[in-house]
Amino acid sequence: MKQHAKLILILGCVAVVLCGATAVGLALAHQSKVAATAQSADAGNAGVTVGGGESGTSLPSASSGRISADSGATSSSTKTDGASSGNRSGGAAGSPADASGKAGAGGAGGSAASGSNGKGGGAAGSSTPAPAPAPAPAPAPKPKPKPATVTISVSCRTVLSNRDKLKASKKSVVPSSGVILGSRSVTLQSGDTVFSVLKRACQAAGVSLDYSQMPGYSAYIKGIGNLEEFDCGPQSGWVYSVNGAYSSTGCSTYVLKAGDVVAFRYTCNGGADVGASGAR
């Protein structure tokens, strides 16, 4: 019984020793593997540094090429991050220069790009042009002044009540209305007289005008519309008024002004029948 107990105890001790030896062996193996992995990583980093340095040489090992590619991807990522984050990431992105010269340059480029973007944004905001003022409205054209005019008319209504005195040869020339030239406006010209306006008005209307004029004397109206003086009695003939007032002044010496109203009337008794006594 005691021998069995001793045997079991010995076997237990042996088992403990074997377990411990196994654990130590595993630990040593793991430590060797970790050390080998660390050496491989150091070798890869060394290859990347040489490849990114000034000499431009690189290690020919496959593992160093793979790590260099990975490092290049890291540099690209760092450059993108530096461009998007501005001044904050410029320094951080530039710090990986120990692993790759290109990566460091990328960080600096990111910082520079961010700075120029910020500056450009500010300049664009400050250069917005002010809205142009609305153009001034064009001045309204000034209305042209109306030409000065005078009004003139010619009538023989007095003959209608004195047909018994009218020459038979003249009965056909007297209008039934007694109006030879209806009231009309005539453009006033410089120096116009009663005679000059009557002459232009008759010419425009196709009415005949018979007159006489001697040098140094005023024009004398003998007949208008084929109705002559003395056709309706010994005191018949033509008289004129300006603005309702009859005048004995010769018609070619009476100068008119704008707005004057001229009326020629045929009288059968020396002007009394038209309110122009003494006008002839």
pLDDT at residue 77 tops 80: no
Residues 212/195, Cβ–Cβ less than 8 Å: no
Q: Which of 20-34, 53-67, 187-201, 243-257 has the weakest average pLDDT? A: 53-67
The answer to whether residues 23 and 82 belong to one domain is yes
pLDDT digits (tens, 9 = 90+) for 27-73: 666 666 656 665 555 544 444 333 443 343 343 343 343 333 333 33
**260 belongs to a structural domain:** yes
Range of the domain at 88: 2-51+63-118
DSSP structure string for the chain: -HHHHHHHHHHHHHHHHHHHHHHHHHHHHHHHHHHHHHHHHHHHHHHHHHHHSSS------HHHHHHHHHHHHHHHHHHHHHHHHTHHHHHHHHGGGGT-HHHHHHHHHHHHHHHHHHHHHHHHHHTPPPPPPPPPPPPPPPPPPPPPEEEEEEE-HHHHT-GGGS-GGGGGGS-TTSEEEEEEEEE--TT-BHHHHHHHHHHHHT--EEEE--TTS--EEEEETTEETTBTBTT-EEEEEETTEE--S-TTT-B--TT-EEEEEEESSTTGGGT-TT--
Which residue would you say has higher pLDDT here, 94 or 235?
Answer: 235
**What is the per-residue pLDDT for 18?**
66
**278 belongs to a structural domain:** no
What is the CATH number for 232?
2.170.130.30
**279 belongs to a structural domain:** no
Mean pLDDT (the chain, rounded): 73
The answer to whether residues 114 and 177 belong to one domain is no
Q: Which residues contact 102 (CB under 8 A, 6 or more apart)?
A: 52, 72, 75
Domains of the chain: total: 2
**What is the per-residue pLDDT for 5?**
62
Measured CA to CA, the distance from residue 54 to residue 100 in angstroms comes to 11
Residues 200-209, mean pLDDT to the nearest whole number: 97
**pTM of the prediction?**
0.51
Q: Which of 96-100, 126-130, 262-266 has the weakest average pLDDT? A: 96-100
Which residue would you say has higher pLDDT here, 102 or 232?
Answer: 232
**156 belongs to a structural domain:** yes
**139 belongs to a structural domain:** no
**16 belongs to a structural domain:** yes
- Out of 101, 118, 135, a domain closes at 118
The answer to whether residues 68 and 153 belong to one domain is no
Q: Which residues contact 25 (CB under 8 A, 6 or more apart)?
A: none
The answer to whether residues 75 and 186 belong to one domain is no
**57 belongs to a structural domain:** no
pLDDT at residue 149 tops 50: yes
The answer to whether residues 217 and 166 belong to one domain is yes
The type of residue at 56 is G
**202 belongs to a structural domain:** yes
pLDDT at residue 124 tops 50: no
